[in-house]
Every structure is written in C-alpha cells, then in structure tokens.
C-alpha cells in the first residue's frame, strides 16, 4: 500500500492542493516530528494533549503512566485524532493578507489498543529512544520489570491519515509584486544548543557524539 485510502474525515476540503496521501510522506513527517498532539473526547469535551510518539511500520505508538488521563481514555478504545506538525518557515508576502507558513502536518484518525506483551513494549520503547536520539538506548540502564509493568504502551494503526504540506515562496497578488518590500521565506528549524550536564554528573563523562551533532528525531529503524 503506497497510498492511503481517503475517508470523509481524512480528506482535505480547504486548499485540497496541499493534501498528500502517500504513505512515504506521511511516514517521513511522523518520523521527523518531536512531539504530537493527541485529541480525544471525554463526555463530549475535547482534550488535546502533547506527547511523544514513534512510528514503527504502519503503527504509531504512545506511552506513559497507566494513571495518565489521556492514556486511560485511549485505552478504552475512544476515537482519537493525532496531529504531528513540523514548521519549516515563515512565508513573508508583500501584503499582510498573503502571509503564510511553510509546514508539514499529518493527521491520523482511529482507535488505539494497549500493547500487552512485555517483549513488544520493550521493542517499542527502544524504537522511541532510537527515534528521538539514535545511540542512546545502548548506553543507559534498560527498563526493569517493574518499570515496564508501570508503563502503558498504546498502538494506533496508521491506515486513516493525511498529510498537508506547504512549501515555497509567497504567492502575492500580481499588482503587489512591484512593492518595495522584502518578500520570501524565513526558514525555521528546531536546533540544539550545548548540552547541559546534570549537576551530579562526574566530570570525566563527556557529552556523547549523538548530542553534539544532534539533528532532531528520525526514523526508528
């Protein structure tokens, strides 16, 4: 399956030219996103909660404490809408009206299921770590049995999803192109600063290479 089938809720209505339904694009945005926003409904009230995620194959995984209001709701099999947004830049037009933003976003609809097996939980947590900071998992203490037991992992299939993408320069009204005002794109990117050592870290432990050259999240595999 290279292309996601479209449903009413996953089909873009406004600016349909920005809609993208191919799996490779959807996956790459999910892989590049540092956080997602999970939407769900409790007693008619919408909640939108930020959390981290990882895509493995055609599933999106979340984790957290079994006491989390969000995970408890999701575990009941309620409908969710998970959105990952990567902002790429500010688009500066010659008119106020045509200002915009370059971005890539994905919306995934469906219901999540808890991951029961300890082995699969461990695989997912490792993938989450690899997605965020490749190389970290091998160096740290692995989860103890009681930590794994105290971690709820949920899986959401990525089969009803769409991406929305805007790229490129501003599109101005033809009459405005002659105005003497700067126009173009200001590219934006999440950037890492110098690592800050834990006050209790021994001075002979240097920051690892995967931090000094950190370029953001990537595919877990």
Which residue is it, tokens 């688009």?
91
Place of tokens 């299921």: 113
What is the closest distance, in whole angstroms, from the C-beta atom of residue 47 to a second copy in the complex?
Answer: 5
Nearer CB in complex with a second copy: 23/185? 185
- As given in the structure block, the two tokens for residue 170 are 């501003």
Residues 26-45 within binding reach of a second copy (CB under 8 A)? 34-35, 37-41, 44-45
Residues contacting 48, CB < 8 A, separation 6+: 37, 38, 39
The CB-of-133 to a second copy minimum distance in angstroms stands at 7
Q: Which of residues 99-158 bind a second copy (CB under 8 A)?
A: 99, 101, 103, 105, 107, 109, 125, 129, 132-133, 136-137, 139-144, 147, 151
**Does 5 interact with a second copy (rule: CB under 8 A)?**
no
Exposure string for 78-109, b = 16+ CB within 10 A, e = fewer: eebbbebbbebbebbbbeeeeebebbbbbbbb
Cβ nearer to a second copy, comparing 1 with 177: 177
The count of other CB atoms within 10 Å of the CB of residue 2 is: 7
- The least distance separating a second copy from the CB of residue 172, rounded to whole angstroms, comes to 8
- Out of 57, 77, 135, 184, name the contact with a second copy by CB under 8 A: 184
Among 16, 17, 116, 194, interactor with a second copy by CB under 8 A? 194
Beta partners for residue 59, in sequence order: 56, 157
Q: Closest distance between a second copy and the C-beta of residue 2, in Å?
A: 25
Q: How far apart are CA 182 and CA 179, in angstroms?
A: 9
Chain Cα centroid distance, residue 90:
20
Q: Which of residues 49-68 bind a second copy (CB under 8 A)?
A: 49-50, 52, 65, 67-68
| Nearest-approach distance from CB 23 to a second copy, in angstroms | 21
The reply on whether position 165 binds a second copy by CB under 8 A is: no
What does the DSSP 8-state code read for residue 15? S
């Amino acid at each position: 399956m290279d292309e996601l089938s479209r449903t009413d809720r996953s089909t873009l209505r406004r600016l349909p030219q920005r809609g993208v339904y191919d799996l490779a694009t959807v996956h790459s945005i999910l892989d590049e996103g540092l956080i997602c926003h999970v939407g769900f409904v409790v007693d008619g009230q919408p909640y939108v909660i930020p959390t981290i995620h990882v895509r493995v194959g055609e599933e999106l995984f979340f984790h957290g404490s079994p006491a989390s209001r969000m995970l408890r709701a999701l575990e009941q099999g309620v409908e969710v809408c998970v959105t990952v947004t990567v902002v790429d830049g500010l688009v500066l037009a010659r008119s106020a009206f045509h200002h915009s933003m370059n971005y890539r976003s994905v919306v995934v609809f469906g219901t999540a299921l808890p991951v029961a097996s300890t082995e699969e939980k461990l695989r997912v947590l490792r993938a989450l770590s690899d997605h965020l900071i490749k190389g970290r998992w091998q160096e740290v203490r692995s989860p103890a049995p009681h930590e794994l037991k105290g971690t709820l992992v949920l899986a959401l299939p990525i089969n009803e999803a769409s991406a929305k993408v805007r790229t490129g320069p501003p599109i101005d009204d033809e009459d405005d192109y002659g105005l003497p005002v700067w126009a173009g794109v200001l590219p934006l990117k999440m950037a890492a600063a110098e690592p800050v050592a834990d006050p209790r870290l021994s001075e002979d432990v240097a920051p690892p290479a995967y931090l000094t050259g950190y370029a953001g999240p990537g595919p877990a595999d």
